[in-house]
Amino acid sequence: MELKMISVIGAGAMGSGIAQVSAVAGYQVILQDISDAALDRAKAAINKSLGKMVEKKKMTESDKDETVSRIELTTDMEKACRSADLLIEAVFENLELKRKMFSDFDKFCKPEAIIGSNTSALPITEIASRTKRGDKIIGIHFMNPVPLMKGVEIIPAQLTSDDTVSVVLEYIKKIGKEHIMAVDYAGFIVSRLLDVLMNEAVKLVQEGNKPEEIDKAMVLCAGHPMGPCKLLDLVGAEIAMHGMETMARDFGEFYKPHALLKKRVLAGLLGQKTGKGFYDYQ
């Protein structure tokens, strides 16, 4: 099966990044969100990111314009489903919402369409359980910031067919990324490791360590590209908290999000997206 049209559901940082890299690779893209404001923000983010690539001479201004013209923004979910050869869901981390949405996707997408989830940590088999096309459902876990991060986790669910995996691997190659195969348990590989690291960093803060010192330690002493507090601000504190909750549900107490992490989420200290986390982005 040849993919031509990629529909992305959810126009947050991840959804807009997925739409962008798909359009750069030449796919026609529909980016859907229920809110016009989210679509406006996505459009601005895509323009800014592509603008940086033009600045760095990674693409020309006319490539940029063509890329943007391949992305259609809409609030119409049925339309996004009907057009898709591959649909990628990138809405927030709520299992019930995703299960309900997947059952709608199943209704509205053409029978041969593949449906992927960009969930950070929720098991794909659980998200897919209300659909009748288990063979065509798969986890496609992009990393933030999507245009820059090379790796994408691919998570076959319990019923995913080999054909679906190979079509999706071809897509990953075409968008210039490398795939990592992960097994369908909460957190897969990347969130399982990074959420624990970020949760532990929050404990260190609660014990009196400064975020700047924790970050400096992991950059200078462990060679990480950015420290865990800065990373938490990048991915969003609520994403790490939901990841930990899902892992605690499936694997036990060790994974429980730290109380301070929950408190920070409740206070809206989510990081870059709210303008304030461990650092100030206003």
Residues that bind ligand 3HC (CB under 6 A): 49, 52-53, 56, 120, 143-145, 147-149, 190-191, 194, 225-226, 231, 235, 239
Name, in order, each residue with C-beta under 8 angstroms of 222's C-beta and a sequence gap of 6 or more: none
Residue 224 burial class via C-beta count within 10 angstroms: exposed 0-12, middle 13-18, buried 19 and up: middle
What's the closest the beta carbon of residue 76 comes to ligand 3HC, in angstroms? Answer: 26
Residue closest to 15 by CA, chosen among 116, 105, 99: 116
User: 109 vs 231, which CB is nearer to ligand 3HC?
Assistant: 231
Of 86 and 155, CB closest to ligand 3HC: 155
Let me know: does 227 contact 210? Beta carbons within 8 Å.
Answer: no
CB of 241 to ligand 3HC, least distance (A): 11
Residue in the structure block whose two tokens are 């796919």: 27
Q: Which residue type does 273 have?
A: K
The residues near 9 (Cβ < 8 Å, ≥ 6 apart) are: 15, 32, 33, 77, 80, 87, 88, 89, 90, 91, 101, 105
When the beta carbons of 1 and 180 are compared against ligand 3HC, the nearer one is 180
CB of residue 148 vs ligand 3HC: minimum separation in angstroms? 4
Nearest to ligand 3HC of 134, 145 (CB atom): 145
**Closest CB to ligand 3HC among 145 and 159?**
145
Q: What size, in residues, is the chain?
A: 282
Q: How far is the CB of 267 from ligand 3HC (least distance, A)?
A: 20
CB 38 to ligand 3HC: min, Å: 17
- Which CB, 163 or 212, lies closer to ligand 3HC? 212
Q: Smallest gap, in angstroms, from Cβ of residue 155 to ligand 3HC?
A: 12
Please state whether beta strands 151-156 and 137-141 pair in parallel, antiparallel, or not at all (unpaired). Answer: antiparallel
In what helix (H) or strand (E) does residue 88 lie, and over which residues does it extend?
A: strand 86-89
Q: Where are the alpha helices (DSSP H) in the chain?
A: 13-24, 36-55, 61-69, 77-83, 95-108, 124-127, 162-174, 190-206, 211-220, 228-235, 237-251, 259-266
Measured from the CB atom, the residue of 85 and 195 that comes closer to ligand 3HC is 195
Q: How far is the CB of 252 from ligand 3HC (least distance, A)?
A: 22
Q: Which residue has its beta carbon closest to ligand 3HC?
A: 120
